[in-house]
Amino acid sequence: MTAAAGAHLQTHHIDLVVVGAHPSGLPLNGELQSLGAELVRANLTAPVYRRHEPV
């Protein structure tokens, strides 16, 4: 990403719902943090939903 593109992103924000390996504490969260993402709100689902764990 160029500095100009990065500056453009810093002046705007996008609300984004994150699932998979990107939420806080999971392996790919650093990718979001390196782009300046910040956690706005955590949410929980019903206990019946399970995240798939690779074997």
- Specify the range with the lowest mean pLDDT, choosing from 24-28, 35-39, 48-52: 48-52
- Quick one: pLDDT at residue 39? 87
> Is residue 26 predicted with pLDDT exceeding 70?
yes
User: Closest by alpha carbon to 54, among 14, 20, 7, 5?
Assistant: 20
Give this prediction's pTM. Answer: 0.55
> What average pLDDT score do residues 21-50 get?
86
The tens digit of pLDDT for each residue in 37-50 reads 888 888 888 888 77
Q: How far is CA 35 from CA 6, 44, 46, in A?
A: 8, 24, 30
